[in-house]
Structure 1
Amino acid sequence: KKEILIDILVRLPAKSLIRFLSTCKSWSDLIGSSIFVSTHLCRNVTKHTHVYLLCLHHPNFERLVDPNDPYLKKEFQWSLFPKETFEECYKLSHPLGMTEHYGIYGSSNGLVCISDEILNFDSPIHIWNPSVRKFRALPMSTNINIKFSCVALQFGFHPGVNDYKAVRMMRTNKSALAVEVYSLKRDSWKMIEAIPPWLKCTLEHHRGTFFSGVAYHIIQKGPMLSIMSFDSGSEKFEEIIAPDAICSLWGLYIDVYKEQICLLFICYGCEEEGMEKADLWVLQEKRWKQLSPFI
């Protein structure tokens, strides 16, 4: 009977499971057990069930808006949309009730990392589960006295160490780079001491992504563009040279495409009048493969 019950419960979304915690003690113990949580998560990930899209949008979907308009931007809101219907199902409000705009710096398995829209070194960071309306405030760093002018923040799950990680990269006016890693298991920050010398360059902290426990950033050293990767588990840095065809930071974006790191390079002023050409490169075994460009 227990196996049948588990097979039924693992198919339910987290919000329904939370309600069943108060059904009886045996159900509460079962749903709260680490084995059930892992089974439920594994099933959702492998079968892509209960997947939601996290979108920043204007309340009026039919209105064409300029995302750079400061007045319209104040009206934007974060919402969850189920991937099957793409109908707004849940409007996200800050868990502390704050009305100011906030930024989302990564999400994984239902957890969302939020902080100030404009990051400072002492910006409060929260890991939030909107489905069950619970959150955790991350502790302040022990390096709070150091003043940094540039801060980047990323968050996600590292399957290799079975832990959720937040990576914070900071730079001073003198181009000194500092990297801190937060572990949800330990609930603490760790400063990374060994920074490779090739990272003394311009870090494009606005253009980065986090995938499978690794933080990726576009960096520039003189005329050369590279991708810096930092594994939040092994705490190792790597440099991946960008394709020769990519010659400018303008129009260059890094993200994940079909479980692979990709570079999207938008070429303005395409031969077709009024059109833009986009080149897509995916990283396969530390080499770039160009997919068919599209216009």
Structure 2
Amino acid sequence: MRNETPYLPQEIVRNILVRLPVKSLIRFQCVCQDWKNLFKTPCFIAEHRHHSTQQNSLLVTDCYISKCIADTWHLSILNREMQFLEFRNPPIADTFGPLWRTIHSSNGLLCLDLIITNGPYNSFMLWNPAIREVRQVPHFINDSEKSDDSSVGFGFSPVVNDYKIVKLSLLDRMVVEVEVYALRTGFWRKVKLGNLEVTTIKSDHGFPCNGSIFWYGLKEYDRIDVIVSFDIAIEVFTLIPFPTESLAFELSPFRLTMYDNKLALVSAIRNNESSLFIELWLIEECTNEPREGWIWTKIYTSRSCPCWSLSPMIIWRNEIVCSVHAMHEMPFGSEMKNDEAKVLLCNLTTNEFNMFAFPTKCDFTNRLLDYAESLVPLSNIKIEGQ
């Protein structure tokens, strides 16, 4: 307008800022004190995190690059343009050794553990690569003498606004002890096993979804397949029974994942010697009488896959991502090199397949995570209004 200073309402400015990448927001902290303070508020962080998750989701995989002296751990990411990039390793990783393994990603935070060749997990680290913050997690309470293995989960609960690491100590894959680390307190504490007694854990890692962490398990006595659910807020375990078709899952590669913001399971089902199909099941809790309990609904079956053998891993951008072990002789398959880690994308809308390969310099570890950068701090976790 003439003779008036150009002006944008604060609502529009905020609406623009919340859509920018973290790197730009870090630079813009020097624009003014109001912006610097805004970027640290829980409300803005949550709004930016939500937009980043919906619009800028990335695919992350562990990579180990072999060298003459030792192997080096790296994270590779696949962006929306199907381009591969690399994270810069956190400086603290070099202090504790080169071999780290990613447990899971939650709201832009990565939970890493140090790989120990002669014992269970020994050290954990929380890392926000976008804002370059790292927190070394203290050693857990006890190394259980009756434990020979462990399975770890990491997730977030909006109810208590906290991130937690859950460590299941295992003996012959049966749970003997549970310890929980809360980011807000910075301490480990033991929790009761509850109905986890005589439950065998078959998952290497827990999968986070909607404030809970899930493992695939097996009841020792009645041999009923179950999903073990841990509520992060109230720290209670629940067992979710498999449907009557569970035998097909047990005989086929499958993975817990999330679809439409709900817990889901993807599985590769072989009907005969030459036909393999990908199935997607939603797992929802029903509280309405008389159907109280958990409901399994199959919502997708692919056409016959162009692979002899594959393992579903994750749903990313409306596509089921699978690692490929063997392929038919097809045109796009013949273009791949034998030493490349092949990945198959199955589009849930078009039912089309697309094959691509990870960089040859990386040793693909069969771990893929959905990641979106965020401003979530590791120093102070605050609940808005307190």
The corresponding residue for 1:25 is 33
In the aligned structure 2, how far is the partner of 1:275 from the partner of 1:230?
36
Per the normalisation by structure 1, the TM-score is: 0.81
DSSP 3-state at the match of 1:112: strand
CA contact 2:147–2:170 (8 Å) conserved in 1: yes
Give 1:55 shift. 2.6
Q: Number of paired residues? A: 277
Q: What fraction of aligned residue pairs are identical, expressed as a percent?
A: 26
Q: CA RMSD in A?
A: 3.0
CA contact 1:207–1:254 (8 Å) conserved in 2: no
The corresponding residue for 1:51 is 57
Residue 245 in structure 1 maps to residue 250 in structure 2? no
The corresponding residue for 1:203 is 201
CA contact 2:175–2:199 (8 Å) conserved in 1: no
DSSP 3-state at the match of 1:93: coil
CA contact 2:173–2:201 (8 Å) conserved in 1: no
Residue 35 in structure 1 maps to residue 43 in structure 2? yes
Q: Deviations over 1:150-192 (max 9, x none)?
A: 2111112212222222211112359452122222122222211
Structure 2 unaligned regions, length at least 5: 1-8, 286-293, 305-386
> Higher relative contact order by CA 8 Å / sep ≥ 6: 1 or 2?
2
Amino acid at match of 1:85: E
Q: Deviations over 1:25-79 (max 9, x none)?
A: 333223223333233234434xx133222134688xxxxxxxxxxx9xx688422
Q: Which moved more, 1:224-233 or 1:246-255?
A: 246-255
The corresponding residue for 1:68 is none
Amino acid at match of 1:10: V
In the aligned structure 1, how far is the partner of 2:46 from the partner of 2:37?
14
Q: Which moved more, 1:168-177 or 1:13-22?
A: 168-177
Give 1:88 shift. 2.2
Larger Rg, first or second structure (1 or 2): 2
Aligned 1:76-95 pairs, distance under 5 A: 77-82=74-79, 84-95=80-91
In the aligned structure 1, how far is the partner of 2:239 from the partner of 2:144?
30
Q: Quick one: structure 1 residues 75 and 28, their matched pair in 2 at CA, closer, same or farther if it must change by over 3 Å?
A: closer
Aligned 1:1-295 pairs, distance under 5 A: 1-45=9-53, 48-56=54-62, 77-82=74-79, 84-98=80-94, 100-117=98-115, 120-121=119-120, 123-144=122-143, 146=145, 148-172=147-171, 175-193=174-192, 195-206=193-204, 208-222=206-220, 223-247=223-247, 248=250, 251-268=253-270, 270-271=271-272, 273-285=273-285, 286-294=294-302, 295=304
CA contact 1:154–1:166 (8 Å) conserved in 2: yes
DSSP 3-state at the match of 1:115: strand
In the aligned structure 2, how far is the partner of 1:176 from the partner of 1:53?
31
Give 1:206 shift. 1.6
Q: Quick one: structure 1 residues 209 and 175, their matched pair in 2 at CA, closer, same or farther if it must change by over 3 Å?
A: closer
Q: Quick one: structure 1 residues 137 and 265, their matched pair in 2 at CA, closer, same or farther if it must change by over 3 Å?
A: same
DSSP 3-state at the match of 2:301: coil
Give 1:233 shift. 0.7
Amino acid at match of 2:283: L
Amino acid at match of 1:96: I
In the aligned structure 1, how far is the partner of 2:56 from the partner of 2:38?
20
Give 1:216 shift. 0.9
Structure 1 unaligned regions, length at least 5: 60-70
Q: Quick one: structure 1 residues 54 and 198, their matched pair in 2 at CA, closer, same or farther if it must change by over 3 Å?
A: closer
